[in-house]
Structure 1
């Protein structure tokens, strides 16, 4: 009975990034249809009320091109993180959102409004690269080294450009602190890294 349930249990891990991405699309659709704009709920730097944006900013985007540009890397990197388990995915996402959000709130120009899931994308990238150096079995670390090399090969140039070569209107702060949050998440709570299921 347990063996029959395992494949669906493994696949269910990927429901979390899919659900989070679907929520972003629903929010963007609602923002496009309803009067006004949801962007005001983003991270507004140096404004105490703007700290609430740490919760909402990853779900909000400045428009469809912004959301579409974030969707594929979010889904690819998010699913790789989610392969470790549902709880680990949400723990990593939470650490990235908080570290990335607070860093953006502090370092950005006062009054600047920041929205978008790119902080999570950079955070997942940082997590997957830093995971190579986190405690764990040698076999796991070798696997993560291979994954990290592939991820760096595909997204490394984009990630560097997202911090050091951004154009006006793009938050390098969100990208940088998202990556820092992801790297920190790689070393936090390693005992809960993989979901354990009773046999």
Structure 2
């Protein structure tokens, strides 16, 4: 696939992140309107009822600060996913929510685990590892950008702070890494120069023929175009003498 066809803007790049942000803010707004709390719909590990949180937990947040902290990373990473990996973006999103939620349900502490941070870890992990695996320069640059901007997130996959679902973060990180390996995404083929091809023969390279074994430049007279001589034919036209007028 050519680079121009692959990196092509579509409405999904804006619509998907916008819908994601609107959905989490709408749920929080409903909690305020009805003066209620949806935390009980979060993931409660190793409890069959708590399994419903695998689907619902990414939309539930405990406070405005919690919601705000997840909004910007979610929007940026979703936009990056749908732009650079548009052919697999929906699958990564759905599988990422389900698998990271299941991991949290299996390894989590007996408490309600809520928030979109697990999904954010899925996206950051997938984009980083997939970019490295593709070996395509633009996607590798994106991976490095994710490390630069969100590299500090790595610390929160460990239990270093109370009140944070490190299990959800770890589940998201592992899920993103797994999806990066298993999900096959169409990416632009890396550009191969002539010397990188399998059928390349160094001794037949016209450029390298201008250098000896020590790397010194040499003139190849045999390769110079032969001078062509063309004869020029000149035709003269003579006018007859006009008779004198008396």
- The normalised TM-score by structure 1 is 0.83
Aligned to 2:192: none
Per-residue CA deviation, residues 55-78 of structure 1 (Å, 9 max, x unaligned), is 000010011110001111111111
Per-residue CA deviation, residues 167-186 of structure 1 (Å, 9 max, x unaligned), is 11101110011011111222
How far residue 165 of structure 1 moved from its aligned partner, in angstroms, is 5.8
Aligned to 2:51: 51
How far residue 153 of structure 1 moved from its aligned partner, in angstroms, is 0.8
Aligned residues: CA RMSD = 2.2
Tell me the secondary structure at the aligned position of residue 169 of structure 1. coil
**In 1: Cα distance, 2:187 partner to 2:67 partner:** 29
Matches of residues 45-194 of structure 1 in structure 2 within 5 Å?
45-84=45-84, 88-110=88-110, 112-134=111-133, 136=134, 138=135, 141-157=136-152, 159-164=153-158, 166-191=160-185
**In 1: Cα distance, 2:185 partner to 2:73 partner:** 27
Which shows bigger deviation, 123-132 or 164-173? 164-173
**In 1: Cα distance, 2:174 partner to 2:122 partner:** 7
Tell me the secondary structure at the aligned position of residue 43 of structure 1. coil
How far residue 192 of structure 1 moved from its aligned partner, in angstroms, is 6.5
Aligned to 2:194: none
1:14, 1:83 within 8 Å by CA — same for their partners in 2? no
**In 1: Cα distance, 2:151 partner to 2:76 partner:** 14
Which shows bigger deviation, 79-88 or 37-46? 79-88
How far residue 189 of structure 1 moved from its aligned partner, in angstroms, is 3.5
Q: Which has the higher contact order (CA 8 A, sep 6+)?
A: 1
2:54, 2:101 within 8 Å by CA — same for their partners in 1? yes
Sort the Cα spacing of 1:16 and 1:167 in 2 relative to 1 into closer, same or farther, 3 A: same
Aligned to 1:197: none
2:132, 2:139 within 8 Å by CA — same for their partners in 1? no
Q: Which has the larger radius of gyration?
A: 2
Per-residue CA deviation, residues 54-109 of structure 1 (Å, 9 max, x unaligned), is 10000100111100011111111111111135552221111211221111111112
Segments of 4+ in structure 1 off by > 6 A?
none
How far residue 11 of structure 1 moved from its aligned partner, in angstroms, is 3.3
Sort the Cα spacing of 1:193 and 1:99 in 2 relative to 1 into closer, same or farther, 3 A: farther
**In 2: Cα distance, 1:108 partner to 1:26 partner:** 27
1:95, 1:182 within 8 Å by CA — same for their partners in 2? no
Tell me the secondary structure at the aligned position of residue 186 of structure 1. helix
Tell me the secondary structure at the aligned position of residue 74 of structure 1. helix
